[in-house]
Each structure stands twice: as structure tokens, then as C-alpha cells.
């Protein structure tokens, strides 16, 4: 609507100019690099549109190339504001698969390792350390691939003619993109050296254009605009939070002379007031947009004064959708280990179909989600009215050494070490061994995979040995500690229902030995539990560790078959439900309800053990029963984002717990008990995992403090 009115005003101005004999002018805009600071360019464009100043040509470097490219493709400043200020940039700039792209089962696994080193046949291999920008490429493909196709891959045929700048890492030459893939061009322009890997385009390794021309005014001159507005966000700041800040500042120093020359070519240069921001402040994107708006509004009277003697011309190419060609064939390049038949199962694009860019993006995401490839990309080879869709993959080094750490003040430290070899025989299967030292101690070996034979079922088969220390309480009084030794094996087959649900069916066999004190006697020292298991979970939570909104429903059960230690067998079932509501961007209300029931007599190893972090004010495993029901209400307030990163919210929580044990099915194994607790908690996510601390007061006036750091390494048995 805004652009339609703008076009009407410009046409009227041109008609008036023809009548008055004044020469009409065209306007070009150049947007500098500057990482997150480049978000201010969106505010500049907003004000230019609002004030009726038409933009006929646009260029950009680095972050400026993203803003300029989206504007050239037809996005309005408001649309760019909505997209670029809400996307999780920390996830885009990571080599990890974004959580919202993972299946629920994979999100549950979490990131257990804080250190991971690849190995090739068990010889450690240190990668380059730079980020591949795979997530950014898929993001740009989703935004720009169709527009580039409709422009016949000619940047002059986009809605607004566009240029962006990169640098050849071998020759040091400036590279100005005028045609080809917009995704490749912008990906090259944002490749900050030492932070992001170079982009390989037509046989050349290209890096951030900010190393040679951070303010790209010169590329606009070929269009011969009458008036050029340049937006330069580079600033000298004494603070540097991370490598993005350091390298961005370094590039600014190196190219200062070129920036001075480029400013001379512009008619007017705008300097958005971004002094209080750093190049890494992507979490403050909305503030940066506002800073750009404020600067443009202050400068607008002077700009209008200089333009007042000339009517303005809008050169805007018509946007229309070109017919989509039929897919001739789908090819896969770059496979060394992975079997092609396994890869094709993840690709929905088929020969004979019309080219569908949304399906193409979904194919790239599915290939990325397999975890088998370090990088996936595509190209389109056109021939007459047909197109070959070519997926190019770069396989991972499938060997892995992993190290994980966990601490809480109740159990102490636990260190987890893992050795794994993935993609066995090219099938995607993974063989791994892990050991956990601390509490609990755990050794296990197993194989897992995303497909079982030709069936779409995940599978996991493993054997293990586990040593866990337990405490025994009676009516709230501690009596003794004991150790449980467990040897077992499990097999599970599962199916994911989209990204938000899954179920697994399995069979588990465990031999337990409880090292009880002599005063207890020999009864129930040895236990065998064997039988089928079922797990079902549905979750729309936006974050499994620190949810803000969504619901979660989980059900698990185990049928214990009769054996020499449990002649009657047993059934054990547990259901947990929670719902979270967000108010504004800081307040969260969470409610949780859980119920567990064991029919017949549960073995000691299968009792529901509750306490510690599950019930504020209670001791670890203070309650061990056949049946329980519990409820929790959490009111959380986000104080700030740790390290200025939205992925690391620091929250304070008010928590209330209530629980009842053996409320409906009492027997000789336990009597009815109730518990109430309340307290204060704090928590945040960090690069080494979640961190939580709580201080709870129970209904018996007992005060308990609990702190935990990291991901729990293994199940306590």
C-alpha cells in the first residue's frame, strides 16, 4: 500500500516536472557493513519511505547486503523489521541445528557435551573453528530464492536494482555481484574472516566485503543516480565483547581510507547514533532500528531541502512470478560414506514435479536435520524448460569425542566421556560408548539410528552398568544410605509425529543388587525387572529448559513380567502435564501436574522417588512410594539476558509445590502422606548448560538449598 502511494506520488511529480521543464532525479542508497549495527539501516529505509523519497537503486556490504538484498527483492522496511529483529541470530550463527528445527526426541537429548572433538578413525581432528553459516544460508534461501529466480538471476531485474560486495580471499580483489544467486552473493558478503567460513562461489573463495569496501557507494555509480544517500554505521568503541566485535573493528581500521573515499562519492552520509551498541548486539535489534529511524528523521529536513528543486523518479521493476519449470532429475553430489538411498528418503522434490522453492527449503532443512552433513546446499541447472535440482553435501567427520560436566550440591560432580562413530556403513547408524564418573556412575555401549531397515522408525539398542547411591527415609527421618548396582539392556523403537510428538515401544531387562546395611536383612537385596515399556510425549514448549509458552504432556509405563524376584509382576505408569503462559516479554506463569501409580507391589528399584529439585524444601529422594500426585505453580520474571543473548535469559522464580503420596491405593507398602513447599529460584541457560539454584521451605519448616549446573548425565537407577 505504501509503495503504491509512493509510486502514484512519483508519477505525479514526473508529470509536473515535464510540464515545468525541471530535470527529474533518481536516488540510490548505499548501506555499510557493521554486523548487528547494520540493523539501523532498516530504520533509515523506513523513514525514507514514509517521507515519500523513492529509492531506485540500492547496494550493501555485509549486514548492509542482507538489508539491501531484502529491500531489492520487494520486502518493505516493516516486513524486514518484523523478520530480522525477531529471528534468533545466535542460532543462525551457530553450527548447531536450531532447536525449532529438531524433533522433540532430539531436543530431549539436549547438548550433553560442553566439549566435542571430531576424530577420523580415532585420531583427533581439530576443525577450522569457524562457523559454516549453514543456518544463515537456509534462512536466506527461504527469503530470497524465489525473487532471484523471478528476476532470472539478474540483479538489475529485481524490484530494485541491487549490488553487493565481497572480497576474493586469494587475490584480495573486490568482487561486486550483479547476477547469479542472491543467497551466494549475500552469504559471501557477510563472511567475516576468522569468524565465518569463506563462501565458495564459481571456484573462488570469498569473504566479507567489509575487508575491501565497507561502504559500497561506488557500485551505484554504474546506474548514474542523481543523488546518493549513504548510511554508515561503523563506530569506534572501546569495548569488545567477542570476536565479532574485534574483527569488525579491525576491518573498519583497515578500510578507513576507502570509507573516506566512498563518503566523498555520496551526496549525503547518514551516521546512525549507534554509539551505545556493539557489532555483536543482535539481541538489541529493535533498539538499533529505532536508532536508525531517529537519525533519519533529524536529517530529513536537510535532505528534502536539497531535493526540493527536482522531482524524483522511481525506477521500480514490475514484480511478477515466472512459470516454474518441471524438474528433470534430482542429483546428489559429495557423498563419500552415506548411501544415496538413505539421503533420498529425506528429499521430497521429485522428477516430473514443478519446481517448488518452499519444498526445496524443506528438503535442505531435512538434510541438515539428519546430523550427517557439515554443510548442505543446492544449485539449479536449467536446460530448455527443465531444471536439474542438485543437492551438494559435505559430510561430517563421523567420529566424536565428547566431554560433559554436571554438578549439584546434593550429589557432587559428574564427568561424562563419550566416544562415538556415526554413519556406520553409510546407513546413519551410530555406535557409541560412554562412561560417567561421579554420581551416578554409568558405563554403556549401544547403537542407534534414524531408520530401522527400510521402516521410518528410530531405534536404540544398548547395554549398561550403573551404580547409584540412594537414601532411605521413614516418616521424614533419614535412616541410612545404600548403593544400587544395575546391569541391564534395552531396545527401543520410536516414531516421531512431526517435530512436537513421538512415541517409543521397547523392552528393558535389568538386574539390580541393593547394597543394604546388615540391619535390614537379606530381603529384597536382589531384584530383576524385565518387560515391555511405552513412552509417549507431546510438547509445544518453546524451550524445554526454561519454557515461556506452550503445553507438555508425557506418559510412560512399564509392565514388569513375573520372575523369581517378583512372582506377581507389576505395572507402573506415570503421566505429567504442564502449561506455560507468557505475559509481555518478561513474565511467565507455569503450572504442572503429575501422577504416578504402581499396581501390585513395585520392586524397590521401581518406586517413584521424589524430592530435592522436584519438591522445594524436601531432601533428595525423601519420598519413595508406589503412588503419588503432585502439582507445581511457577511465576517467573526475566531480569535480563546473560551476555546480551536472548538464548540465555536470567530468570527469578517463585515456586509452590504440593504433593500427596499413596492417596488412593494404600497398602502395606506405604501410608498416606502429604507435603507442601515453597521457595525462590533463579536460573539461566549458559554455554555449558542450564544453571539453577533454589531455596525452599517445607510445611515442616525445613529449609533446603539446591544448585545444579549442566545437563544431568544419566538416569539414576
- 290 pLDDT band, cuts 50/70/90, is very high
Structural contact between residues 526 and 486, judged by C-beta atoms closer than 8 angstroms:
no
Q: What is the pLDDT of residue 194?
A: 83
Q: Indicate whether 298 pLDDT > 60.
A: yes
Give yes or no: residues 374 and 406 share one domain: no
- Looking at the fold, whether 228 and 374 belong to one and the same domain comes out as no
In this structure, the answer to whether residues 146 and 213 fall within a common structural domain is yes
C-alpha cell at 690: 542450564
673-686 and 689-698 as β-strands: parallel, antiparallel, unpaired?
Answer: antiparallel
Among residues 472, 327, 303, 436, the alpha carbon closest in space to that of 390 is found at 327
Same domain, 387 and 485: no
What confidence tier does 157 reach under pLDDT thresholds 50, 70, 90?
very high
> Rounded to an integer, what distance in angstroms lies between the CA atom of residue 695 and that of residue 568?
42
236/436: higher pLDDT: 436
The CATH number that applies at residue 334 is 3.10.20.310
Secondary structure string (H, E, C) spanning 139-157: HHHHHHHHHHHHCCCEHHH
**Between the CA of residue 232 and those of 72, 235, 270, 549, what are the distances in Å?**
19, 9, 6, 39
For cell 537414601, name the residue.
471
Pairing of strands 27-31, 57-61: parallel
Residues contacting residue 599 through CB under 8 Å, at least 6 positions apart:
570, 571, 572, 665
Tell me which residue has cell 539461566. Answer: 684
Helix, strand, coil share (%) of the chain residues, nearest 5: 25, 40, 35
State the chain's mean pLDDT as an integer.
88
The grid coordinates of residue 443 equal 558405563
The answer to whether residues 667 and 626 touch, using CB atoms and an 8 Å cutoff, is yes
Per-residue pLDDT at 7: 44
User: What's the farthest any 2 CA atoms get from each other in the chain?
Assistant: 109
Pairing of the two strands 199-201 and 526-539: unpaired
Q: Is 372 found in the same domain as 426?
A: no
pLDDT at 456: 67
3 state SS for 406-443: EEECCCEEEEEEEEEEEEECCCCEEEEEEEEEECCEEE
The arithmetic mean of pLDDT across residues 150-176, rounded, is 94
Query: Are the beta carbons of 111 and 689 closer than 8 angstroms?
Result: yes
Most confident segment among 188-202, 419-433, 472-486, 576-590: 576-590
pLDDT for residue 16: 41
Last residue of a domain, one of 395, 414, 440: 395
The answer on pLDDT for 605 being more than 70 is yes
Q: Rounded to whole angstroms, how far apart are CA atoms 314 and 158?
A: 14
- CA torsion sign for 92, 94, 99, 102 is positive
Q: What is the pLDDT of residue 477?
A: 82
3-state secondary structure of 565: coil
What mean pLDDT is predicted for residues 412-435? 89
CATH number at residue 518: 2.40.160.50
pLDDT attached to residue 165: 96
Domain count, the chain: 3
Confidence of residue 452 (pLDDT cuts 50, 70, 90): low
Per-residue pLDDT band for 12 (boundaries 50, 70, 90) equals very low
Residue 587, pLDDT score: 95
Q: What's the grid cell of residue 303?
A: 535532505
Same domain, residue pair 442 and 460: yes
Place of cell 536494482: 161
Give the C-alpha separation, 354 to 264, whole Å. Answer: 49
Mean pLDDT of 462-485: 89
pLDDT tens figures, 332-351: 999 988 889 888 988 999 99
Helix (H) or strand (E) holding 61: strand 57-61
Query: Which of 351, 376, 395 is a domain's end point?
Result: 395
Contacts of 449 (CB under 8 A, 6+ apart): 427, 428, 429, 430, 458, 459
593 vs 564, higher pLDDT: 593
Dist. CA 289–CA 294, nearest whole Å: 9
Looking at the fold, whether 371 and 445 belong to one and the same domain comes out as no
Distance between terminal CA atoms of the chain? 63
Q: How confident is the model at residue 549 (pLDDT cuts 50, 70, 90)?
A: very high
Of the ranges 317-331, 490-504, 627-641, which is most confident?
627-641
Locate 554 and state its grid cell: 508425557
What domain range is 191 assigned to?
27-95+133-308
Q: Which range among 129-138, 198-207, 224-233 shows the weakest confidence by mean pLDDT?
A: 129-138
Residue 494 has pLDDT above 60, yes or no: yes
| Structural domain contains residue 111 | no
pLDDT band at residue 314 using 50, 70 and 90 as cut-offs:
confident
The answer to the question of residue 107 being in a domain is no
Decide if pLDDT at 112 tops 80: no
Domain assignment present for 600: yes
Same domain, 472 and 349: no
Cα distance between residue 558 and residue 508, in whole Å: 9
Q: Give the residue, 398 or 507, on which the prediction is more confident.
A: 507
8 in any annotated domain: no
Instruction: Please write the tens of the pLDDT for every residue from 680-702.
Output: 999 998 878 889 999 999 888 88
58, 72 Cβ separation under 8 angstroms: yes
Q: Are residues 281 and 358 in the same domain?
A: no
| Number of residues written out for the chain | 717
Same domain, 544 and 597: yes
> Per the structure block, which three cell numbers stand in for 199?
563462501
Query: Distances in Å between the alpha carbon of 131 and those of 67, 88, 96, 244, 289?
Result: 21, 16, 10, 12, 26
Stretch 98-112: mean pLDDT, rounded? 74
Q: Check whether 11 has a pLDDT greater than 50.
A: no
| 506-517 pLDDT per residue, tens | 999 999 999 888
| 381 and 506 share one domain | no
Nearest to 262 by CA among 232, 217, 224: 217
DSSP characters over 580-596: EEEETTTEEEEEEEEEE
- C-alpha to C-alpha distance for 35 and 90, rounded to whole angstroms: 12
Question: Torsion angle, CA of 640/641/643/644, rounded to 10 degrees?
Answer: -100
Residue 75's pLDDT band, with cuts at 50, 70 and 90, is very high
Task: Quote the percentage of the chain above a pLDDT of 90.
Answer: 56
Residues 579-589 pLDDT 10s: 999 998 899 99
Q: How many CB atoms lie within 10 A of CB 370?
A: 19
pLDDT tens track for 251-264: 888 888 888 999 99
On whether the CB atoms of residues 280 and 36 are closer than 8 A, the answer is: yes
**What does the pLDDT read at residue 612?**
85
Question: Per-residue pLDDT for 648 more than 80?
Answer: yes
The model's confidence at residue 3, banded by pLDDT at 50, 70 and 90, is very low
Higher pLDDT, 371 or 304: 304
Give pLDDT, residue 238: 66
The answer on pLDDT for 523 being more than 90 is: no
pTM score of the predicted model:
0.81
When pLDDT is cut at 50, 70 and 90, the band that residue 62 belongs to is: very high
| 254 and 331 belong to one structural domain | no
User: Given this model, what pLDDT does residue 524 score?
Assistant: 64
Task: Tell me the CATH number at 275.
Answer: 3.40.1090.10
pLDDT of residue 23: 78
Residue 451 confidence (pLDDT) above 80: no
Amino acid at each position: 500500500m505504501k509503495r503504491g502511494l509512493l509510486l502514484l506520488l512519483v508519477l505525479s511529480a514526473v508529470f509536473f516536472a515535464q510540464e515545468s521543464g525541471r530535470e527529474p532525479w533518481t536516488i540510490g542508497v548505499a548501506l555499510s557493513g557493521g554486523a548487528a549495527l547494520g540493523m539501523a539501516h532498516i530504520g533509515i529505509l523506513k523513514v525514507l519511505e514514509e517521507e515519500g523519497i523513492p529509492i531506485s537503486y540500492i547496494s550493501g556490504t555485509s549486514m548492509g547486503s542482507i538489508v539491501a538484498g531484502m529491500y531489492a527483492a520487494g520486502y518493505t522496511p516493516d516486513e524486514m523489521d518484523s523478520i530480522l529483529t525477531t529471528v534468533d541470530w545466535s542460532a543462525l550463527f551457530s553450527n548447531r541445528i536450531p532447536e525449532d528445527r529438531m524433533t522433540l526426541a532430539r531436543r530431549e537429548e539436549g547438548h550433553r557435551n560442553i566439549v566435542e572433538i571430531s576424530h577420523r578413525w580415532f585420531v583427533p581432528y581439530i576443525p577450522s573453528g569457524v562457523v559454516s553459516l549453514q543456518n544463515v544460508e537456509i534462512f536466506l534461501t527461504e527469503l530470497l530464492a524465489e525473487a532471484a529466480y523471478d528476476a532470472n538471476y539478474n540483479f538489475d531485474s529485481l524490484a530494485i536494482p541491487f549490488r553487493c560486495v565481497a572480497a576474493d580471499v586469494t587475490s584480495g580483489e573486490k568482487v561486486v555481484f550483479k547476477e547469479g544467486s542472491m543467497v551466494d552473493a549475500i552469504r559471501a558478503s557477510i563472511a567475516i574472516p576468522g569468524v565465518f567460513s569463506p563462501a565458495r562461489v564459481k571456484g573462488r573463495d570469498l569473504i566479507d566485503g567489509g575487508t575491501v569496501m565497507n561502504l559500497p557507494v561506488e557500485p551505484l555509480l554504474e546506474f548514474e543516480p542523481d543523488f546518493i544517500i549513504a548510511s554508515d554505521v561503523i563506530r569506534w568503541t572501546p569495548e569488545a565483547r567477542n570476536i565479532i566485535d574485534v574483527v569488525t573493528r579491525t576491518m573498519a581500521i583497515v578500510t578507513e581510507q576507502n570509507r573516506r573515499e566512498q563518503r566523498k562519492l555520496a551526496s549525503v552520509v547518514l551516521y546512525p547514533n549507534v554509539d551505545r551498541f556493539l557489532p555483536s548486539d543482535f539481541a538489541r535489534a529493535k533498539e538499533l532500528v529505532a536508532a536508525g529511524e531517529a537519525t533519519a528523521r533529524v536529517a530529513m529536513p536537510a535532505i528534502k531541502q536539497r531535493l526540493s528543486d527536482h522531482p524524483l523518479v522511481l525506477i521500480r521493476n514490475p514484480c511478477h512470478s515466472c512459470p516454474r519449470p518441471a524438474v528433470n532429475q534430482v542429483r546428489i553430489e559429495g557423498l563419500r560414506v552415506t548411501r544415496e538411498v538413505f539421503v533420498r528418503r529425506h528429499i521430497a522434490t521429485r522428477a516430473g514435479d514443478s519446481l517448488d522453492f518452499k519444498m526445496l527449503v524443506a528438503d535442505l532443512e531435512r538434510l541438515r536435520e539428519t546430523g550427517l552433513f557439515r554443510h548442505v546446499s543446492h544449485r539449479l541447472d536449467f536446460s530448455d524448460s527443465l531444471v536439474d535440482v542438485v543437492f551438494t553435501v559435505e559430510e561430517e567427520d563421523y567420529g566424536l569425542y565428547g566431554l560433559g560436566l554436571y554438578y549439584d550440591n546434593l550429589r557432587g560432580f559428574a564427568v561424562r566421556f563419550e566416544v562415538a562413530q556415526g554413519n556406520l556403513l553409510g546407513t546413519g547408524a551410530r555406535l557409541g560408548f560412554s562412561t560417567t564418573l561421579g554420581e551416578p556412575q554409568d558405563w554403556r555401549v549401544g547403537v542407534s539410528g534414524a531408520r530401522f531397515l527400510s521402516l521410518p522408525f528410530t531405534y536404540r539398542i544398548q547395554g549398561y552398568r550403573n551404580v547409584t547411591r540412594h537414601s532411605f527415609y521413614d516418616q521424614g527421618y533419614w535412616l541410612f544410605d545404600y548403593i544400587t548396582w544395575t546391569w541391564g539392556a534395552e531396545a527401543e523403537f520410536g516414531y516421531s509425529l512431526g517435530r512436537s510428538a513421538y512415541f517409543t515401544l521397547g523392552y528393558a531387562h535389568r538386574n539390580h543388587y541393593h547394597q543394604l546395611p546388615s540391619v535390614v536383612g537379606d530381603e529384597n537385596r536382589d531384584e530383576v525387572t524385565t518387560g515391555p515399556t511405552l513412552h509417549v510425549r507431546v510438547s509445544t514448549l518453546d524451550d524445554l529448559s526454561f519454557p515461556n509458552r506452550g503445553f507438555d504432556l508425557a506418559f510412560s509405563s512399564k509392565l514388569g513380567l513375573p520372575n523369581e524376584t517378583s512372582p506377581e509382576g507389576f505395572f507402573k505408569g506415570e503421566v505429567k502435564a504442564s502449561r506455560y503462559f507468557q505475559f509481555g516479554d518478561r513474565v511467565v506463569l507455569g503450572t504442572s501436574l503429575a501422577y504416578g501409580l504402581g499396581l501390585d507391589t513395585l520392586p524397590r528399584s521401581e518406586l517413584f522417588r521424589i524430592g530435592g529439585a522436584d519438591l522445594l524444601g524436601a531432601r533428595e529422594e525423601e519420598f519413595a512410594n508406589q503412588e503419588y500426585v503432585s502439582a507445581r505453580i511457577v511465576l517467573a520474571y526475566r531480569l535480563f539476558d546473560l551476555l546480551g543473548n536472548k538464548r540465555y535469559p536470567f530468570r527469578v522464580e517463585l515456586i509452590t509445590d504440593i504433593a500427596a503420596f499413596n492417596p488412593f491405593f494404600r497398602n502395606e507398602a506405604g501410608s498416606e502422606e502429604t507435603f507442601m513447599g515453597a521457595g525462590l529460584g533463579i536460573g539461566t541457560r549458559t554455554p555449558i548448560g542450564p544453571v539453577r539454584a533454589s531455596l525452599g521451605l517445607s510445611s515442616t519448616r525445613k529449609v533446603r538449598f539446591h544448585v545444579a549446573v549442566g545437563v544431568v548425565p544419566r538416569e539414576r537407577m
